[in-house]
Structures are given as C-alpha cells and as structure tokens.
Amino acid sequence: MQEKQPKPPPLLLSSQLSLQNRGYEVTLNSAFLSWKEVETRQKRTAANIYGPLKAAGSHYVPVCEIISVQETEEDCPSTGIGKWQKVPQSLAESNQYAFTVSYVERTQKHRWRCSEVTLHCTDRTLCLQWVQAIREQLSLLTIRPKRLLVYINPYGGKHHGKRIYEQKVAPVFSRASISTDVIVTERANHARDHLKTEADLKKYDGVVCVGGDGMFSEIIHGLISRTQCDSGVDQNRADETLIPCSLRIGIIPAGSTDCICYATVGSNDPVTSALHIVVGDSQPMDVCSIHHNNTFLRYSVSLLGYGFYGDVLTDSERKRWMGPARYDISGVKTFLSHRYYEGTISFLPADENVGTPRDKLQCRSGCNICRLPSAGKQVSKDEESVSDTEKKGAWQVIRGKFLAINAACMSCACPRSPKGLSPAAHLADGTADLILVRKCSRFDFLRHLLRHTNKDDQFDHPFVEVYRVRQFRFTPRYEETDSDSELELREAEGSGRKRFFSQICREHPACSCSLAHSSWNCDGEILPHAAIQVRVHCQLIKLFARGIEEQSVFEEPYTLSAI
C-alpha cells in the first residue's frame, strides 16, 4: 500500500520570474520557496546533492531556512551568483527589478553555508510583492532571536575569537537583522559574573559565547545561577529542583576544545553555528549539578572523570606552557603511571524506557528518547514526579578499585573520538552514563582506550561496567570510615532496597594503593573535592542548535511535484 503524502500548504504567491537569464516558475507557500525552470529541456544539475532540495531544474528552500530577503539594486540583471553575464538586451530591459533571497545551504560534515539566489521581475510592484510575501512568512517565525548578548573570549584557542566574530559571524547576524550587544571579556569569569549579577537579561532573546568549552561553562554557570537566584532557589542544596533557564545559548566555536559545539551541531564551524542561531534552533540539554556536603561545587554538561581523566587534566594544567600538545603528553604519562583508586559509588539507575548505554541508536536531531515525556521530568526532592522504580529507591552501591570513573552527560564525541566516551548517551533525557573501569592490566586498559577511536564497543570488556543513571555519589576509600560503609548498608537494607550489592575488593587489604588520591575532571576544570554528589537536571538549558542531523534531512519532506 502506498503511503499517503501530507497535503502541501496552500500557495501564497506564484509568478514567472527570471534567474540567470532563464524563465522560472517561482512559488511560495508557508513551508517552501521553490523555483523551477520553465523550459522543457531541463537539465539535472550536476552540482552537489546538498543545499536547497533539487529535482531536475527545481529548487526548494524551506521558509524556516531563509535568512533574509531584500530588493536588489542592479543596473543590469546579474546571474544571481555574483557573475556578470552578457544577456540579450530585450530580457535585460524587461527584468530590471530583482530581489535576493539568502538561505541556508548544507555542505559536507554538517556544515551550513549562507547561499543566495537573485530572481528578476518585469515590474517593481511584483518585485516588492515578493519581498513582502517572504518577509511576512519570516515574521511568523517567532522562535528567531532579534537581540543577542555576545561574549567574546579574545584569548580562547588560537586567540582568534574577535576576528572570527567580526569577519564570519557579525555579517550573518546583520543580514538577519539581529541586533547585538558585544562584550569582549577582560579576565576569566568576566562573562559568568556579568551574567550572574549585572546583565539586563530581559532585553535579550539569547546569549552567545565566542570561545571554547571553558567559555561555554562560564556562560552556563552565570545563566543557571542567575535563574536560580531570581527564582529564590538555593543551589547549595543538592536536593533542590532547579529552574530551567529561559534564554537560549549560542556557541561560536573559537577555542582549542569545542566539544559541546561539536556534539550539539555536528561541526565546529563558526558560520554553521551563527546560522543555527539565526534560524532560531532550540536544543534542550541536561546539566549535572555537583555538590560536596551540601555545598555547590560546579555544573557539568559533558564529562566528569575521576582517576584517569582527572589525572590527565591535573598533569596537563602544570604543562600549560606547552600549548595543546600538553594533553597528549599528559595522556601518555598518566597511562604509563597506571594508578588506580579505591572508593564507593552509589547510584540511582534511570528507568528502562530511556534506553541503555549499550544501545546502537545514537542521539540525533529530533531524538525520540529526549522527546519522551519521562525524559522531561526531574527527580524532585519530594519525589512526587519520580517513577515507580525510582520511588522504590533502587540505589545501587559498588565498591572497588578503579582506573577510571566517568560520567558522560552526552556522547562527548569530538574530532579525536568521533563516537565519544559514551556513544549512545543523550543530550536531553535526564540521565548520565556512568562508566566504571575497574583495575586491569595496562594492556587491557589500552585496548579499552583505543576503542574510543574505532568502531568497536568500548564497553565490551569484563573490567568495564556502564549504567544509565539519574544521580550518583562517590566517596574515595580514604574518606570512608567503616561506620560509613555499615551505615550505607543498613540504610539500603532498611528501606527495602533489594538490589543493593556491594563488592568489597579483598585483594591487597592494606596496600598503599588504597590511599591514592585523584581529582575529578569536571568539563576541563579540577574539582576541589573527591567526595561528590551528582544529580542530572533534565533539560535545564537550551542551545541554539538542533542536535546532529541525519543524512535523511536532505531528502524531500513532500513529493516535490506536489509543491
């Protein structure tokens, strides 16, 4: 049986216009602007397959991907792609009015470009009618930002932040008639503090940071703290339900690490990010809050790593003078030192309907798991919104010796590790993937690490465990008293938590390794405490992004001939 095609929206305007000295049937409805060559001898364009949807001689641009339209002032009709062409006098004279539409064109590797088409009309009234009709459709797209607050870190990455913004991003914003207030930061935490206390946030539709992951972290700390403060929520209380931030955040990648941008847009290209901001994309994102004894420490959106990743960061901070090479050097050094750490992890597993870390399915644009109603909920302190499984309080406890304890709130994919630390982790399902790498040989650990860079399953090792969780706690062995362990055991048993299991490592009972100290790497910052409580806050922030698009978005949503 043939699938029924959705009915196309009603036609708003249709005319014969000219483009590159050829006649085109141009149509507009609320979903698409299209132009189709009138001549019978239609040639299939051999140009790249991306960009406006193309059938033979036909082009389709979704209205939501039109950036702007303006009347074009020309002495002579141009080709519409900036080249001057010899055109027959009669046609040139009869098509002297034109308008130019700028729109998003997809290129390779999830990159977007700003493309243009100039269409010529026989009279000015028709030309203005087209400009007005397209503008009217654009004005209905209320999700688009009109005013943005921009923070530029001039020292991020290769120190090109200012130049990237001025040359690549500001022209796109200006074309889309977005007004901006730009602040070039003068010190670390300038943006965070300004957002927290000074910025008049009511004036803006979004905040943009030009920099790397460190700069993004500043922005979320400023914005989340401000939102909680304005709502009277005490972020020092680990059990508080936090209030989601209303302003969206745009990331213009200009750092040495642009992982968040890469994971939410699919590339670290400034123009692509600027275009996602212009079209008003919205990608919700989970945020972990981290506390130590009811004192707020930090928020995290990507990786929390104790042991291996904490040690790599600690060591690399001492080698800042080396530049980006320090990460590789510290990585090798930490790997060779092969330290392991003893401690206790307790965690609250997520419901099964949000999938598992071993799923083959990855979080992509329009992800079904992130859209589940259960994903949108938060674990509130009174547990009113908590599911049955969680109400039973199925906390699990694991005790042992670990080379690494990692919690990934997103896949953490980046150019170096295209699948990421947890390939099936979701951006906005209210969970984190807790990865425990138990003490194993150097060779086995190397095998595990190498799997981050190839297609093999990095969790398919007997010394690796992975759990999808909503909350977790960690206490290093050296901070644990025997009474802590007993109390935890009694608590878990007393409340009927049947799934409790403890795995006390009895090898080397009194060896010095149990006293080894590591630190938590929290999105590239070292936490001052090893004993932490972590809680995932579902969809606490929103980005000007849409997640990584599947190739299928390039396929036509309606039968082309139906439009």
Ligand X SMILES: Nc1ncnc2c1ncn2[C@@H]1O[C@H](COP(=O)(O)OP(=O)(O)OP(=O)(O)O)[C@@H](O)[C@H]1O
Per CB under 6 A, 255 contacts ligand X = yes
Q: What are phi and psi of 27, to 5 degrees?
A: -130, 155
DSSP 528-560: S-SSEEEEEEEEEEEES---PPPGGGGS-SS-G
For ligand X, which residue of 27, 34, 137, 185 counts as binding (CB under 6 A)?
A: 185
Question: Which residue's CB comes closest to ligand X?
Answer: 212
Residue among 317 and 383 whose Cβ is closer to ligand X: 317
CA distances (Å), origin 69, targets 63, 127, 130? 11, 11, 9
Choose, from 75, 181, 213, 456, the residue flagged as catalytic: 213
Q: Which of 62, 214, 393, 418 binds ligand X (CB under 6 A)?
A: 214
Least Å from the CB of residue 241 to ligand X: 28
User: CA 345 to CA 471: how far, in whole Å?
Assistant: 11
- Closest C-alpha to 33, from 65, 64, 67, 60: 60
Stretch that binds ligand X, among 183-191, 277-285, 395-403, 530-538 (CB under 6 A): 183-191
User: Would you count residue 259 as binding ligand X (CB under 6 A)?
Assistant: no
Which one, 9 or 214, has the nearer CB to ligand X?
214
DSSP states along 129-174: HHHHHHHHHHHT-TTS-SEEEEEE-TTSTTT-HHHHIIIIIHHHHH
- Tokens describing residue 305: 């790593």
Stretch in the footprint of ligand X (CB under 6 A) among 137-145, 251-259, 278-286, 343-351 = 251-259
Q: Minimum distance between the CB of residue 500 and ligand X, rounded to whole angstroms?
A: 39
* Binding residues for ligand X restricted to 512-551, rule: CB under 6 A: 524
Please report how close the Cβ of residue 165 comes to ligand X at its closest, in angstroms.
Answer: 12
Segment near ligand X (CB under 6 A); pick from 73-81, 148-156, 164-172, 430-438: 148-156
Q: Which stretch binds ligand X (CB under 6 A): 253-261, 271-279, 351-359, 371-379?
A: 253-261
Q: Catalogue the E-assigned strands of 431-463.
A: 432-438
Q: Which two tokens stand for residue 179?
A: 């007004």
Asked if 357 is part of the footprint of ligand X (rule: CB under 6 A), the reply reads no
Secondary structure class of 319 (helix, strand, coil): coil
Strand partners, 343: 400, 476
Q: Decide whether 328 or 352 has the Cβ nearer to ligand X.
A: 328
Nearest approach in angstroms of CB 305 to ligand X is: 15
User: Checking DSSP bridges between strand 525-526 and strand 532-543, what pairing results, if any?
Assistant: unpaired
CB of 298 to ligand X, least distance (A): 12
Span from 12-20, 165-173, 208-216, 453-461 in contact with ligand X (CB under 6 A): 208-216
- Told to check if 212 binds ligand X by CB under 6 A, we report yes
Smallest distance, ligand X to C-beta of residue 223, A: 14
Helix residue ranges, H only, 434-535: 442-450, 482-494
How does DSSP classify residue 268? -
Q: Is 156 in the site for ligand X (CB under 6 A)?
A: yes
| Residue 234 annotated as catalytic | no
* 153 is a contact residue toward ligand X (CB under 6 A): yes
Using the rule CB under 6 A, which residue among 215, 313, 409, 540 binds ligand X?
Answer: 215
**Could you tell me which of 428, 463, 426, 416 has the C-alpha nearest to residue 443?**
463
186 is a site residue for ligand X (CB under 6 A): yes
Contact track, ligand X, 462-501, x by CB under 6 A: ----------------------------------------
Cβ of residue 324: shortest distance to ligand X, in angstroms? 8
CA dist., res. 530 & res. 344, Å (int): 11
Contact residue for ligand X among 218, 281, 433, 488 (CB under 6 A): 218
The pair of three-digit structure tokens given for residue 517, joined into one six-digit string: 């100290």
Answer left, alpha or beta for residue 57, where phi above 0 means left and psi between -120 and 50 means alpha.
left
What DSSP string describes 219-252? HHHHHHHHHHHHTT--TT-TTPPPPPPSSEEEEE
Do 283 and 546 form a contact (C-beta atoms < 8 A)? yes
User: How far, in Å, CA of 68 to CA of 64, rounded?
Assistant: 10
DSSP class of residue 491 equals H
For ligand X, which residue of 18, 72, 257, 518 counts as binding (CB under 6 A)?
Answer: 257
Number of residues that bind ligand X (CB under 6 A): 21
Positions marked active-site: 213
* Residues at the site binding ligand X, with contacts judged by CB under 6 A: 153-157, 185-190, 211-215, 218, 255-257, 524
